[in-house]
Amino acid sequence: MADLLLDAGRAALCIVEMQNDIVHESNIGKRGIGGVLAAQVEKRGVIPKLQTVIAAARARGVPILYINFCGKPGFPRPNTLIHRRSQRQPMLVEGTWGVETHPALAPQPEDFVLERTVGVDGSYGTQLYPVLRMLGRTTMLMSGVSTNLAVEGIVRASVNRGFDVVVIEDCCASYPDEWHRFSIENIMPLLATVTTAEAVVRALAPAPG
């Protein structure tokens, strides 16, 4: 496989829904989407791998965009089954610990935190595309959860808007694991470059000399 080539001056790292209520290790063993997703994230080593990508991005001045879901207290009943199931108990609610990004991946003041209240992916209801265009970024490095829903949804929408997309496979997770594999093996390669954290870190490394 040829080495991944990235122009750090045109790239942006997108981190999708790596929020406490659904990926923090304290959820493992609990019922619901948070328990099973957190277990997958830990099993796949997503957080330490994503930390290496974040460090490489910061070193090269690549903007980091956190694309989160932020529920509003009293907001009308969601129109999707996954949201209704996940909200049998309050989660990802504005102003709570659960809506915050996992502390190991916490955003810095210079990062962008883009929040939505509706829909299944952050291509809708956030300022994702205006921010990318303002920054002059045309390549999106995708990571986060869930691979086959929020991540894949943004990939599809972004390709339709003319962006180049790179999916960092080992920085994504879904439940069950078969859904992650199906998306990565059958859908993502038709739309994007599928690669690894190691390859992205290597591609972002400054040229020797």
Q: How does residue 207 score in pLDDT terms, banded at 50, 70 and 90?
A: confident
Whole-angstrom Cα distance, residue 163 to residue 37? 28
Whole-angstrom Cα distance, residue 145 to residue 123? 14
136 backbone dihedrals φ, ψ, rounded to 5° = 70, 30
**Do residues 14 and 171 make contact, with C-beta atoms less than 8 angstroms apart?**
no
Residue 148 is classified by DSSP as I
Residue 117 is classified by DSSP as S
Summarize pLDDT for 165-202 with one digit per residue, the tens. 999 999 999 999 999 999 999 999 999 999 999 999 99
Residue predicted with more confidence, 132 or 122: 132
Whole-angstrom Cα distance, residue 90 to residue 108? 27
**Do residues 54 and 180 make contact, with C-beta atoms less than 8 angstroms apart?**
no
At residue 60, the 3 state secondary structure works out as: coil
Looking at residue 192, its amino acid is: A
Residues of the chain with pLDDT > 70, as a percent, come to 91
Instruction: Kindly report the average pLDDT of the chain as a whole number.
Output: 93
Summarize pLDDT for 83-127 with one digit per residue, the tens. 556 555 778 889 999 999 999 999 999 999 999 988 888 999 999
The pLDDT, as a whole number, for residue 187 is 98
For the chain, domains (ranges, CATH) are: 11-204 (3.40.50.850)
